[in-house]
Amino acid sequence: MFTNRGRQSKRKYMFGICAVIFVYLLLFSRYQTYEIQEVIKNVKPVTVWEFVADFSKMKSLNPTIHEFKILSDHGNNEDWKYTVEYIESMSGWPHWKNKINANFHVRKVIRDRKYLYLVESVHKSCFFSVFCLKANGEFEFTDINNGDTLVTETVKYQCPPFLGQYCRKEVEYQRKKILYNLTNHFKHHKQEK
């Protein structure tokens, strides 16, 4: 009987250590950074910026977004803020749907005597309504070659250490798909110069 109690205590102890390690890995997610660039030929930055800033267009750019709802919206064409709630699946687990809340800041600024068009965002994604991760995104649209647009997207995202590879693949998939679809959209739609 003594040995059974000793084994049970040892199992409880090991289970407790495993649970603490699991919770630690979940709660102490580090930020990773991913950046991608693309040149969209013969399209002005303001045109690309306006298209990306309209979240209703994001559904056609990002195939993982299923539905969305604008929760608040204020500002003007040069400095606009809105909050959106959207449902997204993960490319690796398409049946897993996740609710995300995001705040967007759409603005244009002057840098080096040129307009720089920005779409900045902060996303909060919660799993099981308990475990939440954040991501900060920035789209930057600048004029190059006097009429082409350089699109730079930088994403800083949280990911639990043991899911690092999966998170990176998910971020890469979505970012590459968005820029691919954005470039194709403007290839097929003529624009005034």
Is-contact 144 115, C-beta < 8 A?
Answer: no
Q: What is the pTM of this model?
A: 0.82
pLDDT-based confidence at residue 191 (cuts at 50, 70, 90) = very low
pLDDT-based confidence at residue 4 (cuts at 50, 70, 90) = low
What does the alpha-carbon distance between residue 102 and residue 158 come to, in Å, rounded to a whole number? 15
Give the CATH fold of the 30-188 domain. Alpha-D-Glucose-1,6-Bisphosphate; Chain A, domain 4 (3.30.530)
Q: How does pLDDT run across 69-110, given as a tens digit for each residue? A: 999 999 988 899 999 999 999 888 888 888 999 999 999 998
Identity of the residue numbered 17: I
